[in-house]
Amino acid sequence: MTPWMERTCGTRLRAGTVVTVIDIDAAIGYVVAHGDPVERARLSHLRTGQPAPSEAVERIAAGQMEEGGWSASAEGAIPSIDATCFRLAELDGIGELNSPVAVQALQWLASAQRGDGTWQEHESLAGEAPAWALPGDPEATLYQTSVAGFWLTAAAVAIDPYQTRTPWSEVLRSAAGWVVTQIRPDGTWPSFLAAGWHAAGLLHQQQFFYESARVQQVLGDRLPDMSPADVASMAAALRRVNLGDDWLLRSAWKRLGETQRVDGGWDSNEGPLFDVNTTLTALRAFR
Per-residue pLDDT, 9: 39
Per-residue pLDDT, 214: 96
Crossing angle (nearest 10°) for helices 275-285 and 37-48: 10
Per-residue pLDDT, 107: 96
Give the residue among 105, 114, 111 at the shortest CA–CA distance from 154: 105
Give the residue among 151, 120, 146 at the shortest CA–CA distance from 208: 146
Low-confidence ranges of the chain (pLDDT < 70): 1-20, 160-166, 244-245
> Helix, strand, or coil here: 39?
helix
Give the residue among 65, 63, 52, 125 at the shortest CA–CA distance from 92: 52
Question: Which amino acid is present at 133?
Answer: A
pLDDT in tens, 226-250: 999 999 999 999 888 877 668 999 9
pTM of structure: 0.89
Domains and CATH numbers, the chain: 24-286 (1.50.10.20)
Per-residue pLDDT, 212: 95
Per-residue pLDDT, 210: 95
Question: Which amino acid is present at 33?
Answer: A
Per-residue pLDDT, 2: 30
Per-residue pLDDT, 21: 75
Asked whether the beta carbons of 206 and 152 are under 8 A apart, the reply is: no
287 burial via Cβ count (<10 Å: 0-12, 13-18, 19+): exposed
pLDDT in tens, 256-276: 999 999 999 999 999 999 999
Kind and range of the H or E run holding 14: strand 11-15
Asked whether the beta carbons of 282 and 249 are under 8 A apart, the reply is: no
Per-residue pLDDT, 147: 98
Q: What secondary structure letter does DSSP report for 269?
A: S
